[in-house]
Structure 1
Amino acid sequence: MTRFMAPMTTLCVWLVYMATWVTPFSAADKLTAYQVLQEYDFPVGILPKGALSYELDASTGKFSADLNGSCSFSLEGSYQLKYKSTIKGYISKDRLRDLSGVSVKVLFFWVNIIEVVRRGDQLQFSVGIASANFPISNFAECPQCGCGMDCLTLSLDEAHQVRSWRPFVSSN
């Protein structure tokens, strides 16, 4: 019986060692939502700052990303974007499809962005009946809720107004 116990003890010690080594490594090694975008060849700037978590089914591409509340901002003074607190869709290399939770203001109406396709150095955003192309370099940095890319150029008074008005502004 003692001849059988030595290999069992060694096996138990090895299993405990592996369990303590593998669990912290895999938990600490989880990618951020922004890193996942990059893995699928998208720039980080298509998602605003403050993504708290995400879920991804790698076999289907189904994903969801959670922000710290809903979010709204203008880009280049002309495009107004609105993100819900949860964004969902399907991701594959160079393509986001069946999106929900992201909309753009066109004239006086909010329309959902339903697809984003990367074509070389361009991103094509589709609202179904129309699409628009933008240089991928425009999305190298993440916009910030409330002020987009102009956060550093706001005056103190403007920054206070952005923080005071919260219908679509995250607390970040």
Structure 2
Amino acid sequence: MSKLIFFLLLTVLFTVSDQKPTAYDVVKRYNLPVGILPKGVVDYELNTTTGDFKVFFNDTCKFTIQSYQLKYKSTISGVISPGHVKNLKGVSVKVLFFWINIVEVSLDGNDLDFSVGIASASFPAADFVESPQCGCGFDCNGLVFSS
């Protein structure tokens, strides 16, 4: 009986230690706020040597934060390093009538800088402590959207 209990404990320990951290946990480990990823990540790939990553959603995710409309494709990719994401692909912001790709995100003190290449905008990093919800961002009023 004690051998069975020991085996079960080892199985549980190895199962727990083999669990892949969530994409949100990984973002935190790179000193970035989880709110740069909307809710709904279904999987991700990360090369810890190069920082190359891909994040997967079930579908395209659109939402508005403040006066900015954002769109995440079903797969986004880039290169992550502490406090920085570069070569970002699959995330865009609507400016006037055009969707412009966000190509870089970096933590600068207490601000997050979002670059579209020729211009950038800064926002308090504290605004990204929580992940926005697809469809409604942070203004969901109890509504639940899947994408």
Task: Provide the TM-score with structure 2 as the length reference.
Answer: 0.87
Unmatched 5+ residue regions in structure 2?
A: 1-6
2:24 corresponds to 1:34: yes
Instruction: Give the aligned residue type for 2:123.
Output: F
Q: Which residue among 40, 47, 50 is the counterpart of 1:60?
A: 50
2:76 corresponds to 1:83: no
Match of 1:171 in 2: 146
Instruction: Give the aligned residue type for 1:171.
Output: S
Q: Which residue among 11, 28, 33 is the counterpart of 1:43?
A: 33
Measure how far apart 1:107 and its partner are: 1.2
2:128 corresponds to 1:139: yes
Give CA deviations for 1:127-154 in whole Å, capped at 9, x if unaligned: 000000000011011100000000016x
Count the aligned residue pairs.
140
Measure how far apart 1:41 and its partner are: 0.4
Measure how far apart 1:24 and its partner are: 1.9
Match of 2:110 in 1: 121
Which of structure 1's runs of 4+ aligned residues deviate more than 3 A?
19-23
Q: Which residue among 120, 131, 152 is the counterpart of 2:141?
A: 152
Unmatched 5+ residue regions in structure 1?
A: 1-15, 154-158, 164-169
Counting aligned pairs with the same residue, the percent is: 54
Instruction: Give the aligned residue type for 1:98.
Output: N
Give CA deviations for 1:39-63 in whole Å, capped at 9, x if unaligned: 0000010100011111100000000
Instruction: Give the aligned residue type for 2:139.
Output: D
The separation in 1 between residues aligned to 2:93 and 2:78, in whole angstroms, is 17
Match of 1:24 in 2: 15
CA RMSD of aligned residues (A): 2.1
Q: Indicate the structure (1 or 2) with the bigger Cα radius of gyration.
A: 1
Q: Which residue among 46, 61, 65 is the counterpart of 1:71?
A: 61
The structure whose residues are more often strand, as a share, is: 2
Give CA deviations for 1:100-133 in whole Å, capped at 9, x if unaligned: 0100001111000000010110000000000000
